[in-house]
Amino acid sequence: MLDWPPEDMRHTGRTPQEHMLAAIAADDHRMFYAALPAVADDLNKNKGQYLRAAAEVRNMLFMKELTLAGADIPYATAETERERNAIQKNTYWDDDIEDVVTKFKNPADEARYKTLSHTIATLNTFQQTYTQHIAPDEMLKTQQRILKELEELKRDVTELRDGKPLEKGLFAAPAALRPKTP
């Protein structure tokens, strides 16, 4: 994701994808929720860029919303690992310090490698949290919503079949049952 965030954030002709990435980078919830429907058709675009961007800035709320909308956590994680593994490094054992040493071509590669490693760790942690806590809660909410919709549908079908129930007190009580007034 070397092209994130977009360079010119101020021009008005931004695409929905740029709006989404800008919202994630700025932690702008209003812009995020406004841009989400526009990009919902392909949340895994560009190797899971939205989920990866949210993971880079450690925004768990955006990660949750993206995942609930259809973003694929394992895909984003795999693509991030693939990108990290493409960075050239030299790893060897140093007898003097008795430890493994990793050397990168330049400091930018080392910084990017560390950023990608943190992003992968964030995605893995989020996947565990999502699987253990968020997904069951969302499934329960969905089941409750479906139950409510079924009850409303049942009521509508009953009204269509039997007619609307009469309200109590709509008709006056018969004269014989009315209390006598002095």
pTM of the model: 0.70
CA nearest neighbour of 113 among 87, 77, 147: 87
Cβ neighbours of residue 5 under 8 Å, at least 6 residues apart?
Answer: 21, 22, 25, 53
> What's the token pair of residue 167?
């309200």
Question: How do residues 139-161 score in pLDDT, each as one tens digit?
Answer: 999 999 999 999 999 999 988 88
pLDDT of 144 reads 96
- Hey, how many other C-beta atoms are within 10 angstroms of the C-beta on 119? 25
pLDDT of 179 reads 66
Question: How do residues 92-148 score in pLDDT, each as one tens digit?
Answer: 887 788 878 788 888 999 899 999 999 999 999 999 999 999 889 999 999 999 999
Q: At 90, give phi and psi (nearest 5°).
A: -120, 115
Question: How do residues 36-83 score in pLDDT, each as one tens digit?
Answer: 999 988 888 889 999 999 999 999 999 999 999 999 999 999 999 999
> What's the token pair of residue 20?
């989404």
